[in-house]
Structure 1
């Protein structure tokens, strides 16, 4: 009898494993896995500069010709613009308004390329490669100077990206764990609100913790503790709010959408290993519209470029936080309105109460 029970239990387990729901979940995991491979390899397998901004300082009569030739290079690796003098070029570089500056010296056969290692080592290296080849066709050589180097503890300028990855993971893990503890879909507006409220102190603590680690603890990004704390709080809460919204819409499957947004699409397009101008068109286009790319750009510009050009990034991060909150509350309110009311007896009491 025990052996028959074991066989029956095994067959029941097989039927459960082959149920449509289980098969659909496995298929979903497989698609996410393949999407991960496609996105990361697609973004990184052949990094090539596309319209990397370049300020050009050249004699007035020669400047239009130099700029025209640089912009006509095959594949459009550069977007060159003539500027008045070296001081202007350096100012644009320090403000993060250009990726590099080419200083043409008419009295010499050697020109100078100013790059910004803090803005992304991959772009600086690509500019050096492209311009070295271009100079060689004119029988000229190139001297490269990193005019805006990364801080000593920020190797290759990658700290901002990894900091954002940590903050983002923390936000969606918190929301996922709340879903595991309470049920993926919030049962009421009050419960949804409680999850969102819970995410606030967590985001504040996470933002501060990350800023302290990369600043005073490790010395990777120094002197900007409060600004990084603020950005981190916004990133973490936004990631949590979006995850809670996806769970309110789709239940457990919402976590898959979170992975798609933040991991599969967000990380390779963020400008970490390769700056957005080094990525293929799709990843380059979505980079500023996703939290990962917006936050990475904002942190780099806070630390190295006096916060220049981060307004759009902060608006993107705020939009995800606000939309995640609104979608969560609206969807949960709709679900709550559609929920069946408890059955009542003729006198308005529940059946159990009436029976008593």
Structure 2
């Protein structure tokens, strides 16, 4: 009614155009796939940093950021292929736009995990799991919808990557990207800030290589010829 009054007062003709969102696919009649996609993306993010730490024995390196970014691109593609074409969880017309979003989510989590592992050591992985999985995933709203979350989770979600990643995925696939500006900006801020911090830490803070095998650790701690 307000629009009609405004149109009359200005002497303009009111034109109403209905917007029809992209129909849900038969295998996802409730639109829950985007929330479920978050789990492998979040796990893939912190696992990439953890596996790289185990492989190199160091929590940082000159090319750590580039290696994590490369893994994010590949893992985002894998998740996108599986969900789109194998599970048919969303329309194939959205495959290409979904790929960079998946990779962005993985990269953000991987960079944050690498920073925490650099600063806190092995406990940094635990902190990443608590923040991204135990706190971030429930507050994303992917399973029940953001409006139906309890107040604590609803208020916490906007400050963590999972909620922003879910909104970016869901609104891009089904609403042509409407209402995704804030989520995209938040994720890009996370990504750029974490990348800068990670690169600075890699360049300025040196660390001794951490032995990844228990026998190597024992050999370093026990004098030659002694029995561990």
Classify the TM-score, shorter chain: 0.7 to 0.9
Query: Are the counterparts in 2 of residues 184 and 247 from structure 1 also a CA contact under 8 Å?
Result: no
Residue 231 of structure 1: aligned partner: 101
Q: What does 1:88-167 correspond to in 2, within 5 Å? A: 91=19, 94=20, 150-167=24-41
Please report the RMSD computed on the Cα atoms of aligned residues, expressed in angstroms: 2.6
CA distance in 2, matches of 1:149, 1:241: 35
Bigger proportion of residues as strand: 1
Quote the residue 2:162 is aligned against: 292
Alignment map for 1:5-44 (pairs within 5 Å): none
* Gap regions ≥5 residues in structure 1: 1-56, 61-84, 96-147, 340-356
1:168 to 32, 37, 42: 42
Aligned mates of 2:29, 2:109 — CA distance in 1: 27
Q: What is the aligned partner in structure 1 of residue 9 from structure 2?
A: none
C-alpha deviation, 1:289, in angstroms? 2.3
User: In the alignment, what sits opposite 2:213?
Assistant: none
In the TM superposition, 1:194-213 aligns within 5 A as 194-213=63-82
* CA offset digits 1:163-214 (Å, max 9, x no partner): 121111111101011112223532xxxx1x3221111221111111111112
Change (3 A) 1:185 1:219: closer
User: Does residue 1:242 correspond to 2:112, yes or no?
Assistant: yes
Work out the CA distance in 2 between the residues paired with 1:184 and 1:246. Answer: 13
After the TM superposition, which segments of 4 or more aligned residues of structure 1 sit over 6 Å from their partners? none
* Residues in 1 aligned to 2:70 and 2:200: alpha-carbon distance in whole angstroms: 23
1:259 aligns with 2:133: no
Please tell me whether the aligned partners of residues 38 and 137 of structure 2 are also in contact (alpha carbons under 8 angstroms).
no
Paired with 1:184 and 1:312, the residues of 2 have a C-alpha distance of: 35
How many aligned residue pairs are there?
A: 198
Q: Name 1:309's counterpart in structure 2.
A: 179
Between the aligned partners of 2:118 and 2:81, the Cα distance in structure 1 is 33
Report the CA distance shift for 1:178/1:184 in structure 2 as closer, same or farther (over 3 A): same
Structure 2 spans left out of the alignment, 5+ residues: 5-13, 209-228
Whole-Å separation in 1 of the counterparts to 2:123 and 2:106: 21
Q: Is the 8 A contact 2:42 2:133 kept in 1?
A: no
Per-residue deviation, 1:152: 1.2
State the TM-score, normalized to the length of structure 1.
0.51
Distance across 1 between alignment mates of 2:122 and 2:201 = 15
State how far apart, in whole Å, the 2-side matches of 1:178 and 1:201 are.
12
1:106 corresponds in structure 2 to none
Equivalent residue, structure 1, for 2:148: 278
Shift of 1:227: 0.7
Q: CA separation of 1:279/1:297 partners in 2, compared to 1, >3 Å: closer, same or farther?
A: same
What is the aligned partner in structure 1 of residue 192 from structure 2?
Answer: 322
In our comparison, the structure showing a higher alpha carbon Rg is 1
Deviation of 1:159 (Å): 0.4
Give the 3 Å change call, closer, same or farther, for CA 286–276 of structure 1 in structure 2: same
Partner of 1:214: 83
Aligned residue number for residue 211 of structure 2:
none
Distance verdict in 2 for CA 1:269–1:176, change over 3 Å: same
Distance 2:29 2:132 in 1: 24
